[in-house]
């Protein structure tokens, strides 16, 4: 079995707020890629709960955060469908994604 690493580097200010972040996944061709936000979820099967890390830099603009969350929700919807094949719930998820985009005026007219 091959082992690989994904490395997340976070520079914090004096109040422990992220100022700069980057990530590396050599097997994925990513080397020290700068990022303004990072969401990571992991499943703890023993405790039957999600463990997560949500980080964003203090200078990430709210408009970019809105787009980031919308794109993340759309991606989660796609992953959910792939993992469960539950088309009915995926349709409901996509309706929420559309609603989210509409309320934040993310859709181009």
pLDDT in tens, 40-73: 999 999 999 999 999 999 999 999 999 999 999 9
Q: What is the pLDDT of residue 64?
A: 97
Residue keyed to tokens 């703890």: 44
Average pLDDT over residues 29-37: 97
What is the reported pTM? Answer: 0.88
Q: What is the pLDDT of residue 51?
A: 98
Average pLDDT over residues 79-84: 98
Burial of 21: CB neighbours in 10 Å, binned 0-12, 13-18, 19+: buried
Q: How confident is the model at residue 107 (pLDDT cuts 50, 70, 90)?
A: confident
Average pLDDT over residues 73-98: 98
Mean residue pLDDT across the chain: 96
Q: How far apart are CA 94 and CA 77, in angstroms?
A: 7
Q: What is the pLDDT of residue 109?
A: 52
Q: How is residue 25 written in tokens?
A: 């996944």
Average pLDDT over residues 8-35: 96
């Amino acid at each position: 079995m091959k082992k690989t690493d994904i490395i997340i580097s976070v520079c914090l200010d004096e109040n422990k707020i992220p100022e700069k972040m980057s990530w590396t996944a050599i097997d994925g061709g990513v080397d020290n890629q700068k990022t303004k936000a990072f969401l990571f979820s992991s499943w703890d099967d023993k405790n039957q709960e999600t463990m997560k890390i949500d980080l964003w830099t203090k200078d990430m603009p709210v408009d970019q955060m809105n787009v980031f969350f919308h794109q993340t929700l759309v991606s989660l919807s796609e992953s959910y469908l792939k993992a469960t094949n539950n088309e009915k719930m995926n349709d409901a998820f996509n309706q929420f994604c559309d609603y989210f985009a509409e309320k934040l005026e993310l859709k181009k007219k």
